[in-house]
Every structure is written in C-alpha cells, then in structure tokens.
Amino acid sequence: MTALMVQGVTKRFLGVTALDDVHVDARPGEVLGLVGPNGAGKTTLVNVITGHFGPDEGAVTLGEQTLTGAPIERIARCGVARTYQHMRLLEGYSVIDNVLAGRHQAFKGRVFQLWRVRRREEREQRAATRELLDRLGLGDVADVSVSSLSYGRRRRVEIARALAAQPSVMLLDEPTAGMTPAEAKEIGELIRSTSREGLAVVLIEHNVALVSEVCDRIAVLDWGKVIKLGTPDEVWADAKVRAAYLGGELL
C-alpha cells in the first residue's frame, strides 16, 4: 500500500482560486479528514486527485505513480476510488451488480483473456463481492434492487462499490449526509475498520463529532488554503480553525 501526496496544488475557475498551493498526504491505514466551510475547496481537491479536473499547478502522486493530469480511468486503475456527494447508483439493478460494476471498472482491459478464464474470474469476483457485502452488512440484500433500499444502506452500497475496486486510497465525499445519527455512527465505524486494513481514506465530512472520532488527522481548508493539518485535538484547538470554521463556535 502506498501513500497519496498532494504537493502545491492550485486550481482556478475563472475568477475563483478554489485551491491555493495545497499540500496534504494520506497514509496507508489512516483516515484523513477534509473539513472546512462551504466553498472551501474540499470537493475540488477530491476532483483534482481523481482526475475530474487537472490542477493549474502542483502534483498528485500515489507512491511512485504520478497521477497529475492522468485520465479518470487510469487514476482509478492506479488504486484511487471515490464516492460522490450525490449518490450515483445504477437504479433498478441489484446491490451485487452495482458493486460488481465498481470491480469491473477497476479491472477492465487489464489483460486479454480466454473466454473460459473470463468465466472463472467472473465467478471468483462474484464470490469475493458477496464476501465484501457480508462484511459491510449488505449480505442479506445482495440480490435486491438498490432502488428499494433505505438511504443509509444505499450509502453503504456506494462505499462497497468503491472498496470492490481494491483501492489504495478511498475518497468519501460526505458519506453520512442525510443519515440518522445512528446510521452515521455505523458508517463512521465502518470507515475506521476499513482503513485499518491498510488503505488510506480521505473523508469529507461536516459532522464535527464524527470526524473527530473517526479521523487520525484532519486537514482544514479555508478559501482554498490548508490552514491546519494535524490530529483532531490539535486542529480544534487552533485559533485560526475556530475563527474560520463555524465562526468560532466549534464544539
């Protein structure tokens, strides 16, 4: 497993500097929180890492691999998976088919294979996906349409789909948005236990209590700049953070 490094990334949209010389890293086995007021640049940073936007300046690397400016599919195949602020599930398809889609996307075109070998791989992938669904508490709905699931379970399917690609880095954009506190707590526990298996998780999250509980380190963005990067205690004790984030009324 390899670390994600963002070095000196700047991204401008017409008159807006959405990211301004951003330096952050996410280490294998840790959860890195990405927090900050609305419009601070959190989603833009995720979009630059995943190749949805190229940066104007700076570099993104994963171990020895340079991701800067690479197409989205290549970055995904390098081991970067994500979920979106607004869910993008294949409506009307089963949970297992949605999750398998994540797996196929990551592995497609990898090698030319005989039909027989492909059939065997497909069976193996289905079995591995069922195991993953069991682990995420979705085993009982594997063959059910995602459209009929509760909001919390649909969010879980999104995470399962990202994990199915066996990433080194998983970027989660507000995975607990719209959840009940109990559902959010469960997702928090899931994120933490998943990271402990060795992947780096980058978590955009507005829920301060959850982010403090789940994250090893937190990067605070404000107006496109990282104003603090440290442990939850270090971050929330920082005067600049308190001033920028929720106008000083943090905890």
Q: Which stretch binds ligand ATP (CB under 6 A): 42-50, 108-116, 177-185, 210-218?
A: 42-50
DSSP string, 40-88: SSHHHHHHHHTTSS--SEEEEEETTEE-TT--HHHHHHTTEEE--SS--
Determine if 39 is a binding residue for ligand ATP (CB under 6 A). yes
Supply the minimum distance, in Å, between the C-beta of residue 121 and ligand ATP.
Answer: 38
> How crowded is residue 73: how many other Cβ atoms within 10 Å of its Cβ?
13
Determine if 230 is a binding residue for ligand ATP (CB under 6 A). no
Of 41 and 79, nearer to ligand ATP (C-beta) is 41
Q: Which stretch binds ligand ATP (CB under 6 A): 40-48, 57-65, 105-113, 238-246?
A: 40-48
Choose, by CB under 6 A, the member of 36, 102, 167, 188 that binds ligand ATP: 36
What is Dmax (Cα atoms) for the chain?
62
Supply the minimum distance, in Å, between the C-beta of residue 66 and ligand ATP.
Answer: 23
Rule CB under 6 A: which of 9-28 touch ligand ATP? 13, 16, 18
Determine if 42 is a binding residue for ligand ATP (CB under 6 A). yes
Determine if 151 is a binding residue for ligand ATP (CB under 6 A). no
Contacting residues for 102 by C-beta, under 8 A, at least 6 apart: 81, 160, 161, 162, 163, 164, 165
> How crowded is residue 139: how many other Cβ atoms within 10 Å of its Cβ?
14
Determine contact, residues 10/68, Cβ cutoff 8 Å. no
Choose, by CB under 6 A, the member of 41, 102, 175, 188 that binds ligand ATP: 41
Of 40 and 218, nearer to ligand ATP (C-beta) is 40
CA distance 16 to 11: 9
Distances (CA, A) of 35 to 73, 98, 115, 150: 27, 29, 47, 27
Choose, by CB under 6 A, the member of 26, 43, 51, 169 that binds ligand ATP: 43
CA distance 118 to 173: 33
Of 9 and 164, nearer to ligand ATP (C-beta) is 9
Supply the minimum distance, in Å, between the C-beta of residue 186 and ligand ATP.
Answer: 23
CA distance 179 to 193: 19
Q: Which stretch binds ligand ATP (CB under 6 A): 1-9, 37-45, 135-143, 183-191?
A: 37-45
Choose, by CB under 6 A, the member of 6, 9, 24, 40 that binds ligand ATP: 40
Query: How many residues of this chain bind ligand ATP (CB under 6 A)?
Result: 11
CA distance 172 to 174: 6
Residue 145 is classified by DSSP as B
User: Residues interacting with ligand ATP, by CB under 6 A?
Assistant: 13, 16, 18, 36, 38-44
